[in-house]
Amino acid sequence: MRTILKQALLLNPEQKLNQKNDLMIEDGVIVKIGSLKEDDYKSAQVIECENKICVPGLFDMHVHLREPGREDEETVETGSNAAAAGGFTGVACMPNTTPDIDSAEIVRFIKEKSKEHLVDVYPVGAATLSRKGEALSPMYELFEAGAVAFSDDGVAIKSAEILRNVLEYSKNFGAPVIEHCEDESMAEGAMNEGLVSTTLGLPGIPSVAEDLIVARDIMVAEFTGGKVHIAHISSKNSVELVRQAKKRGLNVTAEAAPHHFSLTEESLKTYDTNYKMNPPLRTRTDVEAIIEGLKDGTIDCIASDHAPHAIEEKEMEFIYAPNGILGLETQLGLVLSELVHKKKLTISQLVEKMSINPRKILNISVPLIKEGEKANLTVIDPEIIWTVDISKFKSKAKNSPFDKRLLTGKSFAVINKGKIYMNESFRQI
Amino acid sequence: MSLSNRHLLGLNGVSREDLQLILDTATTFREVLERPIKKVPTLQGKTIVNLFFEDSTRTRISFELAQKRLSADTINFSTSTSSVKKGETFKDTVRNIEAMKVDMIVVRHKSAGVPQYLTRISKANIINAGDGLHEHPTQGLLDMYSIRERLGKIEGLKVCIVGDVAHSRVALSNIFGLKTMGAEVSVCGPMTMIPYGIESLGVKVYTTIDEAIKKNDVLNVLRIQLERNAGTRIPSLREYHNYFGITTERINRLNKEILILHPGPINRGVEISSEVADGPYQVILDQVTNGVAVRMAVLYLLGTMH
């Protein structure tokens, strides 16, 4: 089968590619880039891509797929569908499932579940058994089974000593350790601590709870020479800590979630639990620091922290409701609307942060837009104006604070593993 | 005259006119409470549910009494188990009660924001009887009423809230209400008990109790709530008493006439000495009586709105 993407802007900063051209795919492989001849159009499906941008498939390195254990909230399949709809060809899923991803069987189970899907799913293994922070998980075995990184996400690795061992041990096979940075003893609140939490009477989590663990992790990374990746960075001081660590040449990377650069704690004023997340929404100053960190490269990636929750769990009294919001289907639109169209990031930087860098951090090869390469592509329509409608989400869950929000730009099509997702359906190409 | 909002969720944002109206209406009901027959037919035929998801004795009794004196039909629903543990969601619990056709809901809950959430899932008038560390508006109102009753005004007075301000729902309601009425509000206590950003609300912070007594006309003394984890924020009740407790000795030494309020229940010998709690400056039991009148006023004003 033959598919032609006609007149897309082909953009991949990794190969210094930035040109408008035709691209022909045959049986999932890019066979030709350049002006096509009449012959080429024979029995080809032509997709008009005028004003669209074709980039290496987007990758979300921080999602929760809930399987195994909470298939009522999300499954590998529904989460992958949401990823495809959101413009992603690959995701890394976090290990806080039930049971945790702390055995090779679970890694293989997830890989098996996603084998046929357009979206590549890379499990992140638990760093410690049951993410308890006491004993190392069989990291080598998990790595061999397909885990690309290790994390106790949901919480930070409990002690500096265990973190040290996790970082040392992972050096044997070069996998990064992804840290949810939060000092547990200071983190019993339900929102960011500040004037807003004081006024709302909600217990607060101070941003210093995050900064403390970011600082600890950077120091232990320096000491061990291991690779630490700071997940969903949300506070100004944490961004500065990472900036300094990078200046010193340490192996530290970071990601930010769209809600942390598009919302502030002010949103909590209605006590809507769809704004409850961890790390919590912070202040305008923090938001500005996150954007600055994205601009100057301190923050390498944008990742959604896609966290599906059952309706009955989210529709709870505020202090009892679980943390987290959906992200896969709004992320690209938010990045385009809040960062690219507002001239904070270029579209090339978007590609770096949403496709190239996450793969590099996880040691996954970056797809090239080149003849002879497998087509792993996202076609972005940067100008389309659309309204977020949670009832149309492919995710099983509905917990998004962005419902009804007007966004500019979204995914037009994704292509991977000889399949295309376009107009809300999958096809072979 | 009627209120501009059909719920009472907090005193934050309530206008001076509305506060005035509630306090003035309470004066009328305060007089009713002195009659031999203390009941009026104002809310006859109205059904009010008291939804108490957290232990409370005096607030619940005060509301219930206020409702009975207004001839409303009242139902009490008390549970300290969260809906999570019961298996039924909070929303379902409320919808079930709502389905029995109720006009007003008085709610207390451990989580801030529950009264506001109720306005989204119920058609009844919602009255907040205390939500988390947020607000306890009828307590704020009865404190204001008691101050006004004793000192004849609120405007221009200096009021200091003393104690665990960070873990108090009474403090915020006092701050918002009193400031709207033109009082100067301050707080005093160990800094571990003073919430982040309180100065931004226009509230002065005193670090020593002597200074707070010297500079203020009214002290609203909060209960030190050991059940709210006070233990990690102060070394001991004894040390608290020694440095922040209100004692006759302290007041006399400063030679200061001061009005003392306490929302109860009192920890004698901790935040307040027995002598002060029973002494001439305090209005603690008046507050309790006024509480019924203020709650009658709120119920009446909301219950007769169209």
A243 and A108 together in one domain: yes
Single out the residue in A361, A388, A406 at which a domain terminates: A361
Residue tagged 């004066």 (tokens): B27
Question: In chain A, positions 253-272, which contact chain B (CB-CB < 8 Å)?
Answer: 270-271
Q: What pLDDT, on a 0 to 100 scale, did the predictor assign at position B228?
A: 60
For this structure, is A305 an active site residue? yes
Q: What pLDDT, on a 0 to 100 scale, did the predictor assign at position B79?
A: 80
Q: Considering only CA atoms, which of B263, B225, B268 is closest in space to residue B248?
A: B268
Q: What pLDDT, on a 0 to 100 scale, did the predictor assign at position A254?
A: 98
Question: Model confidence over A163-179: pLDDT tens digits?
Answer: 999 999 999 999 999 99
Average confidence score pLDDT of chain A: 97
Query: In this complex, which of B89, B111, B200 lies closest to A195 when CB atoms are compared?
Result: B200
A392-418 in b/e burial notation, b at 16+ Cβ within 10 A?
ebbbbbbbbbbbebebbbbbbbbbbbb
A169 and A279 together in one domain: yes
B260 and B271 together in one domain: yes
Q: What pTM does this model have? A: 0.94
B223-234 in b/e burial notation, b at 16+ Cβ within 10 A?
bbeeeeebeebb
Cis preceding linkage at A99, omega within 30: yes
Query: What is the C-alpha to C-alpha distance for residues B136 and B287, in angstroms, rounded to an integer?
Result: 14
Q: Nearest CA to CA, how far is A106 from chain B (Å)?
A: 29
Query: In this complex, which of A195, A271, A320 lies closest to B84 when CB atoms are compared?
Result: A320
Mutation target to probe the B interface, by most B beta carbons within 10 A, among A285, A317, A318 is A317
Q: Nearest CA to CA, how far is A117 from chain B (Å)?
A: 36
A67 and A128 together in one domain: yes
Scanning every residue of chain A, which has its alpha carbon at the shortest distance from the alpha carbon of B173? A199
Of the candidates A305, A381, A389, A403, the residue annotated as catalytic is: A305
Q: What pLDDT, on a 0 to 100 scale, did the predictor assign at position B256?
A: 83
Q: What pLDDT, on a 0 to 100 scale, did the predictor assign at position B141?
A: 98
- List the structure tokens of A3: 């598919």
- pLDDT of residue A288 exceeding 90, the answer is yes
Question: Model confidence over A342-391: pLDDT tens digits?
Answer: 999 999 999 999 999 999 999 999 999 999 999 999 999 999 999 999 99
Question: In chain A, positions 109-168, which contact chain B (CB-CB < 8 Å)?
Answer: none
A102 and A206 together in one domain: yes
| Binary contact (B117, A271; C-beta < 8 A) | yes
B218 and B254 together in one domain: yes
Is B111 in the A-facing interface, judged by CB distances under 8 Å?
yes
Provide the residue type at A389 as one letter: D
B147 and B99 together in one domain: no
Domain count, chain A: 2
Q: Nearest CA to CA, how far is A293 from chain B (Å)?
A: 26
Single out the residue in A330, A361, A392 at which a domain terminates: A361
Query: What is the C-alpha to C-alpha distance for residues A4 and A32, in angstroms, rounded to an integer?
Result: 9
Percent of chain A with pLDDT over 90: 97
* Range A115-123 average pLDDT: 98
Is A322 in the B-facing interface, judged by CB distances under 8 Å?
no
- For residue B23, how many C-alpha atoms fall within 13 Å in the half-sphere facing its CB? 25
B118 and B166 together in one domain: no
B227 and B85 together in one domain: no
Task: Give SS3 for A129.
Answer: helix
In sequence order, the 6+-apart residues with CB closer than 8 A to the CB of B181 are B16, B19, B20, B144, B154, B155
Task: Tell me the CATH number at B250.
Answer: 3.40.50.1370
A219 or A312, which is more confident?
A219
Q: What pLDDT, on a 0 to 100 scale, did the predictor assign at position A10?
A: 98
B173 and B91 together in one domain: no
B112 and B216 together in one domain: no
B112 and B168 together in one domain: no
Q: Nearest CA to CA, how far is B109 from chain A (Å)?
A: 9
Q: Is the Cβ–Cβ distance between A214 and A242 less than 8 Å?
A: yes
Q: A113 exposed, middle or buried (CB, 10 Å; 0-12, 13-18, 19+)?
A: middle
Q: What pLDDT, on a 0 to 100 scale, did the predictor assign at position B229?
A: 62
Is residue B7 situated within a structural domain? Answer: no
| Binary contact (B12, A193; C-beta < 8 A) | no
Scanning every residue of chain B, which has its alpha carbon at the shortest distance from the alpha carbon of A206? B196
Q: Nearest CA to CA, how far is A400 from chain B (Å)?
A: 17
| Binary contact (A316, B12; C-beta < 8 A) | no
Is residue B10 situated within a structural domain? Answer: no
Residue by residue, pLDDT tens for chain B (306 residues) are 789 999 999 999 999 999 999 999 999 999 999 999 999 999 999 999 999 999 888 999 999 999 999 999 999 988 876 555 667 788 888 888 889 899 999 999 999 999 999 999 999 999 999 999 999 999 999 999 999 999 999 999 999 999 999 999 999 999 999 999 999 999 999 999 999 899 999 999 999 999 999 999 999 999 997 766 667 899 999 999 999 999 999 999 888 889 999 999 999 999 999 999 999 999 999 999 999 999 999 999 999 987
CA B154 vs CA B150, B182, B212: distances in Å: 10, 7, 18
Q: What are phi and psi of A191, to 5 degrees?
A: -160, 180
CA B2 vs CA A147, B21, B143, B306: distances in Å: 65, 8, 22, 9
Is B108 in the A-facing interface, judged by CB distances under 8 Å?
no
Q: B306 exposed, middle or buried (CB, 10 Å; 0-12, 13-18, 19+)?
A: exposed
| Binary contact (B197, A206; C-beta < 8 A) | no
Kindly list the residues from chain B whose CB atom is less than 8 angstroms away from the CB atom of residue A199: 12, 172, 201
- pLDDT of residue A65 exceeding 80, the answer is yes
A341 and A420 together in one domain: no
A166 and A308 together in one domain: yes
A338 and A264 together in one domain: yes
Is A283 in the B-facing interface, judged by CB distances under 8 Å?
no
* Range A217-233 average pLDDT: 97
- pLDDT of residue A74 exceeding 70, the answer is yes
Helix or strand holding residue A262 (H, E):
helix A258-262
* Range A59-84 average pLDDT: 98
B163 and B259 together in one domain: yes
Domain count, chain B: 2
- List the structure tokens of B267: 């920890």
Q: Is the Cβ–Cβ distance between A295 and A345 less than 8 Å?
A: yes
A118 and A153 together in one domain: yes
Task: Tell me the CATH number at A323.
Answer: 3.20.20.140
A200 and A75 together in one domain: yes
Task: Spell out where B147-249 has E strands.
Answer: 158-162, 184-188, 204-206, 218-221
Is residue B5 situated within a structural domain? Answer: no
Is residue B197 situated within a structural domain? Answer: yes
What DSSP assignment string belongs to B217-238? SEEEEPP--GGGTGGGTSS-HH
Cis preceding linkage at A279, omega within 30: yes
Question: In chain B, positions 235-264, which contact chain A (CB-CB < 8 Å)?
Answer: none
Scanning every residue of chain B, which has its alpha carbon at the shortest distance from the alpha carbon of A318? B111
Query: What is the C-alpha to C-alpha distance for residues A202 and A25, in angstroms, rounded to an integer?
Result: 54
Scanning every residue of chain A, which has its alpha carbon at the shortest distance from the alpha carbon of B196? A194
Is B113 in the A-facing interface, judged by CB distances under 8 Å?
yes
CA A244 vs CA A225, A240, A297, B210: distances in Å: 16, 6, 12, 46
Is residue B3 situated within a structural domain? Answer: no
Query: In this complex, which of B83, B116, B196 lies closest to A271 when CB atoms are compared?
Result: B116
Task: Tell me the CATH number at A421.
Answer: 2.30.40.10
Q: What is the DSSP letter of B246?
A: B
A356 and A308 together in one domain: yes
Q: What is the DSSP letter of B282?
A: B
Please report the sign of the dihedral spanned by the C-alpha atoms of residue A289, residue A293, residue A299, residue A303.
positive
| Binary contact (B12, A203; C-beta < 8 A) | no
B162 and B185 together in one domain: yes
Scanning every residue of chain A, which has its alpha carbon at the shortest distance from the alpha carbon of B118? A317
Is residue B106 situated within a structural domain? Answer: yes
Is A204 in the B-facing interface, judged by CB distances under 8 Å?
yes
B105 and B200 together in one domain: no
Q: Considering only CA atoms, which of B194, B165, B168, B197 is closest in space to residue A194?
A: B197
Q: Which domain holds residue B192?
A: 137-287
Q: Considering only CA atoms, which of B167, B210, B159 is closest in space to residue B185?
A: B159
A217 and A75 together in one domain: yes
Q: A244 exposed, middle or buried (CB, 10 Å; 0-12, 13-18, 19+)?
A: middle
SS3 content of chain A, % helix, strand, coil (to 5): 35, 25, 40
Q: What pLDDT, on a 0 to 100 scale, did the predictor assign at position B191?
A: 96
Single out the residue in A337, A361, A385 at which a domain terminates: A361
Helix or strand holding residue A11 (H, E):
strand A2-12
- For residue A126, how many C-alpha atoms fall within 13 Å in the half-sphere facing its CB? 26
CA A55 vs CA A20, A84, A334, A367: distances in Å: 12, 14, 17, 9
B76 and B143 together in one domain: no
A385 and A284 together in one domain: no
Q: Which residues are B282's β-sheet partners?
A: B260
Residue tagged 């202040």 (tokens): A283
Q: Is the Cβ–Cβ distance between A282 and A234 less than 8 Å?
A: yes
Q: Which domain holds residue A153?
A: 57-361
Query: What is the C-alpha to C-alpha distance for residues B243 and B208, in angstroms, rounded to an integer?
Result: 8
Query: What is the C-alpha to C-alpha distance for residues B43 and B296, in angstroms, rounded to an integer?
Result: 10
Is residue B108 situated within a structural domain? Answer: yes
Q: Which residues are B48's β-sheet partners?
A: B74, B104
